[in-house]
Structure 1
Amino acid sequence: MTTLKVSSRIPKKPIKKLPTSIEITDNTTVQDVKEKLARPGGWDPERFGIYDSSKKLLKDRKAIVSQQESVMSGKEIAVKDLGPQLSWTTVFIIEYLGPIIIHLATPLLRPYLYRTSAPFSSSQYLAMFMVVAHFLKREYETLFVHKFSLATMPLRNIFKNSAHYWFLSGFNMAYWIYAPTSYTADSSATIGYLNAVGLVLFFFGEISNLHTHITLSNLRSRGGTERGIPKGYGFDLVTCPNYMFEIISWTGVLFVTRSWATVLFMGFAWFQMHLWAIKKEKALRKEFPDTYKKKRYVLMPSPGAVVKALVG
């Protein structure tokens, strides 16, 4: 048994009933420490962030504490109250549920929004199918595919995270796409060809995106935090092919909607995914300096790179 001193990460904001010390064994994990510290005060263990002597957060909840040199050298940990938490699964379900409800409710609200009871065009119904199908797929992945390295996130972030989907892909897209004067209201023969191309791009992007998410999921055990180097379909081209296929899928939606509302949503999504992809590339290079094959493109490859990959 080893005794670790426990202190508050922010001395001016002490945590009520936080023990001043804790006993650990050779098998005690970071998650075990959280649960032991939370028990006396009836806290949610996920509210606690555990920091080492250098004030670095111990993110791996399955890491053995006695094997953390930065902790054992000073035999002390610092604890921070991260605030009310919400599981990542719950967060994603709420985020994606918004656009589904909003788009499906639009036909019922059409008389009140546009002062007309005229039926949707075939393009508008197709657009609705594509958007709803996209987010239903995301809900499926959240429940059955994704494996999260962090169990929870601060509850306050749910409002910021949901805004992107509820407003940009929900209210914003739905209002303009289903308007009787929108480009989507046109169902001419020429538009039919655009819809066909859009549908092909959409299904290619969605299926490919699911494939890459399964590849990423297979790198981690259920409930685990281990990381690996993703390889295979798409990963030889860019760091994050799941983002690349996401953009292809939404490009298909754009062909059908032909709306600036879709462009606005895609623009924000592209910007954010590009930042995430850069961060992912840096993390892989740092964690696997000797085995990771550095990528030149993080999100979208050049036409030449695509041709080279196809030729072999």
Structure 2
Amino acid sequence: MRKGVAFLSILSLLWITTSGFGAIQKKLIHFPTFEANIAKVVEKDEAIRAQNTNSINLKDYGYPEVKFTGADWSLSNWRIILAPSANTTKNNVLSYTKPVKSKRWESEGGTVLGARIHFIEGRFLSWALIKPPFDIFAYYDDGSFVNAEGGEENSLVMGLLANVGQIKSISTWVYGLNYQMQVGIRLRDRMDQTKDFFMGSVWFEGWRKLLWQNPEYTDDVRDRVLQRIPLYPRSYPYVVFDGYIVYKPEIEQGGDFVVYFKDVDMEFDRAIIREEMDIDDEAQWGILAKERLDKRILELKRLSDITQLYEQAKAQQRANAPAQQ
């Protein structure tokens, strides 16, 4: 009797999966609301750090103090990293991002990510990476998952999706201006490994949804390569938006290029299904909190060094400026 019930359960699972109910669709990042959502994360992050007795004071190690605010993550602070052959002072100065108002998406908030890229001039292959100002982090200092407000999985659209297994498709709304540049999306997983997904050309005018579909994806679980996913103390399976890649083909002359992005949607299977945890592993061992804290210390030390260099450069500019008459 038990075997019959188990067999019926398997048939039910196969029916649901083959009927197209296996994959779920979520928004990975949404630029009209990104600044407001990431500000909530930063505010909660600072509150948790203030209560965390394990936090390290960088001043004790001779590093300048660094404190993040929501404004540090604004769309105007996103970075453009050029290919080494194009990484010149002129190209860097002329390559930057900014928030741009769009009439098309006014009902969703209206703000999209605009990027101006100054590619190397001439018929050369090149590329540029458009990234957030800092790596989007998955865990707070206390080991709790960022995108799980009130215990709800993926409750906030801020560039992070939890419990992502096999990806079925990725799509993004892009505004083209009739250039033969090509666009890709780079994602980062829980092992800090990145993977690029080619979305297609922007050889068109206006808004268009570019789509990547996984050729290896199948709805029928009988045709899949099934595998067990290690859980704790590994991080919960997740993906993070690491940036856009813009490729310049040889046919394009180079110089200035402008493009706009609205969002990224993903369709994927859940990596694991755990209705209820019998044991709160992190509360017992604190391994993820320790890993998060170690990464945060390295990140803050790097940013402290950059901040100190900026302040020294500003001081030199003030010292070299002619005295006011």
Q: TM-score, normalization: structure 2?
A: 0.24
Q: Give the greater-gyration-radius structure (CA).
A: 1
**More strand by percentage:** 2
**More helix by percentage:** 1
